[in-house]
A and B are shown apart, each in its own frame.
Chain A
Amino acid sequence: DIVMTQTPLSSPVTLGQPASISCRSSQSLVHSDGNTYLSWLQQRPGQPPRLLIYKVSNRFSGVPDRFSGSGAGTEFTLKISRVEAEDVGVYYCTQVTQFPRTFGQGTKLEIK
């Protein structure tokens, strides 16, 4: 199984400042079709998860452009350019390249 490791697990951030979350996979997420199926999800308190980024760097519909994804192979990053109060929650990376699907442990973003 592919193990997804996120760092940090907790990230206190000042409003208006940037935030960054890293995700590392135990093996390459490049699929045989050439795509890299790495997604980022946001889970606000009391809510189901919501898709933010898919295939490493593509923002899902309605996601603000302050969210961006980057990376390749086994190393990936989610960046928030300027954190807003509504960004508080837990962020997960997940690989959709192969079964079984796996998720990172989650990174809790909180405001200082």
Chain B
Amino acid sequence: EVQLVESGGDLVQPGGSLRLSCAASGFTFSNFGMNWVRQAPGKGLEWVSFIGSTSTAIYYADSVRGRFTVSRDNAQNSLFLQINSLRDDDTAVYYCVRLGGGRLDDYWGQGTLVTVSS
């Protein structure tokens, strides 16, 4: 069974940093690209970042470029998102999403909540 479990969300002050993690299981992690997608409270979905299976291809939304860094450890079946210079509008649930063959967002984690507040 495919499982994606996010962790690392917390209450952080503006300007602070966090490292989100996503533990993958039930599939060959190194064969799949992965996305981070976030959802502010009561709002819609916003794509944040993509990393290819070998980390060669990496993309960011304009709203996070320069502040967020996506990475992965295929040996540990883990995906990461380093978030720096946090702003109030970064408050959201962050989802780890597998990009299946044929470009499907086929599996989503339960999400981890990041709250930015003083």
A interface residue numbers (CB < 8 A to B)? 35, 37, 39, 41, 43, 48-51, 54-55, 60, 90, 92, 94, 96-97, 99-106
Contacts and interface: CB of A to CB of B under 8 A. Distances in A.
A99 B105 contact: no
B44 A99 contact: no
A35 B35 CA distance: 20
Given A50-B108, A51-B104, A54-B103, A99 B45 contact: no
A99 B61 CA distance: 8
B44 A41 contact: no
Nearest to B45: A103
A104 B99 CA distance: 18
A48 B110 CA distance: 6
8 contacts: A48-B109, A49-B37, A49-B105, A51-B104, A54-B104, A55-B103, A92-B45, A103-B44
Contact of A60 (B45, B95, B106): B106
Interface residues of B, number: 22
A96 B103 contact: yes
A49 B62 CA distance: 23
**Secondary structure type dominating chain B contacts:** strand
A103 B108 contact: no
Given A100-B59, A102-B47, A39 B111 contact: no
Contacts of B80: none
Given A48-B109, A48-B110, A48-B111, A103 B47 contact: yes
A51 B105 contact: yes
Contacts of A49: 37, 45, 95, 105, 108
Interface in B10-55: 35, 37, 44-47, 50
Nearest to A49: B108
A99 B50 contact: yes
A81 B6 CA distance: 35
Given A41-B105, A43-B45, A96-B99, 20 more contacts: A35-B102, A35-B103, A48-B111, A49-B95, A51-B105, A51-B108, A54-B102, A55-B102, A92-B45, A94-B45, A97-B103, A99-B50, A99-B59, A100-B47, A101-B35, A101-B47, A103-B46, A104-B44, A105-B44, A106-B44
